[in-house]
Structure 1
Amino acid sequence: MKTTKNFKTGWLRATCASAAMAYALTAVPAIAEDFDLDALIAAAKAEDGITIYSSTSKIKKAAAGFSEKYGIEAIGTKAKGPAQIELVVRESQAGNVVGDVIIAADAAAASALLLAEGMVTSWTPPDMADTIGELSSDPLVVWRDPALWTYNNENGGECPVSNIWEVTEDEWNRRIALEDPLNKPSFSDWFNQMETHFDDEMADAYKEHFGKVLDRGEQSATATWVQRLAANAPLLTDSSSGAAEAIGTRGQDKPFFGLVASAKYRDVSPEGLAMGLCKDMKPSIGFAVPGYGLIATGSDSPNAAKLFLHYMMTEEGVLPMTQDGKMSGNSAVPPHPDEVSGVVTYADRLTPHIAATGSDDFDKRQDWQDLWRIHYKR
């Protein structure tokens, strides 16, 4: 796995970086001159069809579009993150590959269990190298699924929270809504990514809000924030839909505030939910969960699998997903015109996921979950 050395994320000054790189946009070097898309298409058509595992049911639409375009049978199958990992592991061990392409929703587990063991490989379309940035190329990021700090904007006005440390204070006691970190691994991974790469930014935000320096002698700024948030008795939901309803339901005197998947903004309407993106929140407006595009080792249709990933890195292929606020790993793909949250405009203010430390995220999940479990108050 390639180590990311330089990048820039707008609000972030990454501790592992020495120079700036535009988040998810900077080009990786050199297009492969010998890549021939027509030759790939011909090779793909000579193979059997493919099956794709993805956490979104919209993969069926994408698969149907691919089949119509290329005349290659493609079956899209919805499988949530843990189920994807289990399927790939079992199929690899049995020597019976069914899922040719996996758009992995659990990035850390994919890094630690699939890529590290050689059960899958990553392939980045060479003819798109100038628009697929370094943070999206190894492994290939087909899309990013944002989780956004969100407020109830029924009565207009700006976001009531400007600093991430505010959610740990009494004003927001029992008024923060988010998915349960014990059931949602991406939250534990986010905690670890912040501590590993962006703890200085968390400490800077603490100083800006409280007017004093945080003592990080015993634990990181991120760990202190997680501990305090858990102790502030947030409302924990079993889905992002539950958090969105808690925040966006109209008629609340003191509405909830919290983290919501960008896809839930499709429920925003004059008769539906009232939600707005906290676009100026420091040090970030949320985080982005990558969907890795991977090819199963031992697939009978490796060229068709590559062609499908190539298709998904185009506006046409990823269109069903960008409507829900997912952001393509290809910077040449524009935001969907009907996407409601507006997150793409502020994408450089999301905490990025650094693939180089994905296995570490997986290894430390239990530690973060234990910290949350110990300090959470109902």
Structure 2
Amino acid sequence: MTLKMIAPLVMLLAAPAAAQTFDLEALIAAAKAEPPITIYDSTGKIVDMAEAFTAKYGVQATGEKVSANSQLEMLIRESQAGNVQGDVALLTDTPAAMAQLLPTNILESWVPGDIEADIPEGYRNPLAISTNANVWVYNTEKYSECPVTNIWQLTEPAWKGKIALIDPLTKGTYTDWFNQMATHGGDKIAAAHQAQYGKPLETDQASPAAAWLAALAANGPLMADGDDRISEAVGAAGQADPFMGLVSSAKFRDNADKGYKLGLCSGLDPWVGWTYTKLGLIAKGTDSPNAARLFIHYVLTEEGIMPQMVDGKIPTNSTIALPADEPSGLSAHLGALFNYDAATGLDDWETRQDWQDFWQLNHKR
């Protein structure tokens, strides 16, 4: 196929989805005529994923590990300079993308027509390729089962100073979680209080979520700057009095790699953990729109997302199941996760500072 023959395909594939029938072979052909692409992602797995994509399709791609915060800065700067370097962004800061990158036409969301029906509607606009889970964990060497069955127990004296989690002042996904609970999770938090104490929740706080968070913060949790410290505080072997903690499900690999004893707090009322989404977005100024779209299509397939699934990342494509040997065992408890709802993502963005102030005000060391 010549470049002249491919040119109409590029125009066709750039047309609105409603005006075309998705054609994967045409997309591949058009992508091969374009310059190489670069994909930004916050995990180093993107390097291998890009190499596998290149080997599969003959479309040159390079993966670069870039933190979510750095992605935001780089993408804005590149767009303003008219010098796009990152053609695809796999971005875990959904509220920032919704507030800063999509409305300003720095990035765009595109959903492949042949996969769209398999992605729940709430993950289509903007497109999320996966959900990432943070889960409550305990030390299986110390306890035969999770020592906590209700999140309100984490606010009690028995766990004072013995809970570890990432400092909400350093990671926006945590204050997003706070706001999501206040917006969508109040009934379940209040019901958990009723179940634990046999009486309705009475509080001066603005919501059941705020009441629980204030009590948790006042119980003196250990603040960490990353999951590694929490994984060690909870899971390191030989501890007489280990912490409980909240970590990425990906840290369960530490059990094999470091001999840790992390266990998932299955059965925790009302949730074993919570999720945030990883978006798959395309730079509006890319010289390779079809190659970028082909990569988006690729990461929505089992083959494409598998390197991240083994770390417990949950694909939004509902036809894909987590691997049976995924170390956290999360696949048996997906229904017990508090899932992120992008419908209120802009509110999460606008209230981040409020929730940081709230946490600082209530946190006791």
Structure 2-normalised TM-score? 0.92
Cα gap change, 1:375/1:218 in structure 2, threshold over 3 Å: closer, same or farther? closer
Cα gap change, 1:64/1:269 in structure 2, threshold over 3 Å: closer, same or farther? closer
The partner residue of 1:315 within 302, 307, 312 is 302
**Counterpart of 1:265 in structure 2: which amino acid?**
F
Instruction: Quote how far apart the aligned CAs of 1:231 are.
Output: 0.8
Overall identity of the aligned pairs, in %: 48
Instruction: Quote how far apart the aligned CAs of 1:290 are.
Output: 0.7
The partner residue of 2:219 within 217, 232, 254 is 232
1:202 corresponds in structure 2 to 189
Does 2:359 align with 1:372?
yes
Q: Distance in 2 between matches of 1:312 and 1:251?
A: 40
The partner residue of 1:170 within 157, 161, 167 is 157
**Counterpart of 1:250 in structure 2: which amino acid?**
A
CA-based RMSD: 1.7
**Counterpart of 2:327 in structure 1: which amino acid?**
V
1:107 corresponds in structure 2 to 94
State the secondary structure of the residue aligned to 2:118. Answer: coil
| More deviation, 261-270/59-68 | 261-270
| More deviation, 254-263/61-70 | 254-263
Q: Distance in 2 between matches of 1:83 and 1:339?
A: 29
Does 2:146 align with 1:159?
yes
Q: Distance in 2 between matches of 1:311 and 1:376?
A: 43
**Counterpart of 2:326 in structure 1: which amino acid?**
E
**Counterpart of 2:335 in structure 1: which amino acid?**
D
Does 2:228 align with 1:247?
no
Which one has the bigger helix percentage?
Answer: 2
Instruction: Quote how far apart the aligned CAs of 1:260 are.
Output: 1.0
Q: Distance in 2 between matches of 1:32 and 1:199?
A: 42
Instruction: Quote how far apart the aligned CAs of 1:156 are.
Output: 5.2
The partner residue of 2:53 within 66, 71, 75 is 66
**Counterpart of 2:146 in structure 1: which amino acid?**
C
Does 2:268 align with 1:284?
no
Instruction: Quote how far apart the aligned CAs of 1:270 are.
Output: 9.7
Cα gap change, 1:177/1:31 in structure 2, threshold over 3 Å: closer, same or farther? farther
Instruction: Quote how far apart the aligned CAs of 1:218 are.
Output: 4.3
Instruction: Quote how far apart the aligned CAs of 1:338 are.
Output: 3.2
**Counterpart of 2:122 in structure 1: which amino acid?**
L
2:7 corresponds in structure 1 to none
Cα gap change, 1:154/1:214 in structure 2, threshold over 3 Å: closer, same or farther? same
Does 2:326 align with 1:336?
no
Q: Check conservation: 2:142, 2:239, Cα contact below 8 A.
A: no
| More deviation, 229-238/328-337 | 328-337
Does 2:348 align with 1:361?
yes
Instruction: Quote how far apart the aligned CAs of 1:226 are.
Output: 1.1
**Counterpart of 1:279 in structure 2: which amino acid?**
S
Q: Distance in 1 between matches of 2:20 and 2:341?
A: 28
Cα gap change, 1:193/1:271 in structure 2, threshold over 3 Å: closer, same or farther? closer
**Counterpart of 2:301 in structure 1: which amino acid?**
T
1:129 corresponds in structure 2 to 116
Does 2:141 align with 1:189?
no
Q: Distance in 2 between matches of 1:170 and 1:117?
A: 48
Instruction: Quote how far apart the aligned CAs of 1:277 are.
Output: 0.6
Instruction: Quote how far apart the aligned CAs of 1:116 are.
Output: 2.4
Instruction: Quote how far apart the aligned CAs of 1:129 are.
Output: 2.2
Runs of 4+ in 1 over 2 A off after TM superposition: 30-33, 215-218
1:88 corresponds in structure 2 to 75
State the secondary structure of the residue aligned to 1:367. Answer: helix
Q: Distance in 2 between matches of 1:295 and 1:287?
A: 26
Q: Distance in 1 between matches of 2:199 and 2:131?
A: 35
**Counterpart of 2:359 in structure 1: which amino acid?**
W
Q: Distance in 2 between matches of 1:338 and 1:33?
A: 40
1:266 corresponds in structure 2 to 253
Structure 2: 5+ residue stretches without partners: 1-16
Instruction: Quote how far apart the aligned CAs of 1:75 are.
Output: 0.8
Aligned pair count reads 349
**Counterpart of 2:285 in structure 1: which amino acid?**
G
Q: Check conservation: 1:66, 1:74, Cα contact below 8 A.
A: yes
State the secondary structure of the residue aligned to 1:336. Answer: coil
Q: Distance in 1 between matches of 2:119 and 2:53?
A: 21
Q: Give the 5 Å matches for 1:38-49.
A: 38-49=25-36
Q: Check conservation: 1:279, 1:346, Cα contact below 8 A.
A: yes
Instruction: Quote how far apart the aligned CAs of 1:309 are.
Output: 0.6
State the secondary structure of the residue aligned to 2:270. Answer: coil
Cα gap change, 1:156/1:370 in structure 2, threshold over 3 Å: closer, same or farther? closer
Q: Check conservation: 2:84, 2:286, Cα contact below 8 A.
A: yes
Q: Distance in 2 between matches of 1:207 and 1:117?
A: 45
* Residues 12-31 of structure 1: CA deviation (Å, up to 9, x unaligned): xxxxxxxxxxxxxxxxxx99
* Residues 238-286 of structure 1: CA deviation (Å, up to 9, x unaligned): 1111101000011222211110111110011496100111111011111
Q: Check conservation: 1:245, 1:273, Cα contact below 8 A.
A: yes
Q: Check conservation: 1:31, 1:127, Cα contact below 8 A.
A: no
2:44 corresponds in structure 1 to 57
State the secondary structure of the residue aligned to 1:110. Answer: helix
